[in-house]
Amino acid sequence: MFKSLGGITLVFATLALVLLSGTFSSGYAAMISGRLVSTLDNRSGKATVLFAGYCKDEPVIIGPSTKIITARNFANCTKENIGKVLLGKDAVIKRVTKFNNNGKEIMAEVLIEK
C-alpha cells in the first residue's frame, strides 16, 4: 500500500513542479523597446551604458551601468554584437532598428527581452 502511495505522490509532485515552472518562467521575460546609449571614457577604459524605453506602456530605465572595454572593442561594436558587447547576459537584444557608433558614443533603438 505504501509503495503505490509513494508512486502517486511522486507523480503529483512532478506534475506540480512542471506546472509551477511553466508559470514562473513565463512571468520573467518582458519585451522592452527603447533607446540604448553608451559613452566611452578613454582614460578609465569604461563604457557607461543606459537604456530607456517602454514595456507595456510603462516607462523603463536600465542603468546606468559601467563596463570595462577597450577603445578598439567599443569602436568595433556593431548592431549585430551590441548586446553581447555592452549588455552581457542581463538582456537579449531581439532587434536593432537604428544604430550609430562614432567610436566615442553608441546610440541604438532596440527591442530587448529581459
What's the pLDDT at 41? Answer: 92
Quickly state the pLDDT bin for 1 (edges 50, 70, 90).
Answer: very low
Q: How far apart are the first and last CA of the chain?
A: 48
Whole-number pLDDT of residue 88? 72
Is pLDDT at 25 greater than 90 in this prediction? no
Contact 113, 31 (CB under 8 A): yes
Top-confidence residue, 71 or 21: 71
- 24/56 Cα distance (integer angstroms): 19
- d(CA 45, CA 30) in angstroms, rounded, equals 31
The confidence band for 90, taking pLDDT boundaries of 50, 70 and 90, is low
Tell me the pLDDT of the chain averaged across its residues. 78
Nearest to 99 by CA among 36, 31, 49, 51: 36
In sequence order, the 6+-apart residues with CB closer than 8 A to the CB of 30 are 55, 56, 113, 114
pTM of the complete model: 0.68
Strands 105-113 and 46-55: unpaired
pLDDT at 101: 94
From 10-19, 20-29, 42-51, 63-72, the region with the lowest mean pLDDT: 10-19
- What pLDDT is recorded for position 91? 72
Q: What is the average per-residue pLDDT within 92-111?
A: 92
Domain ranges of the chain: 31-113
Residue 81 is which amino acid? Answer: N
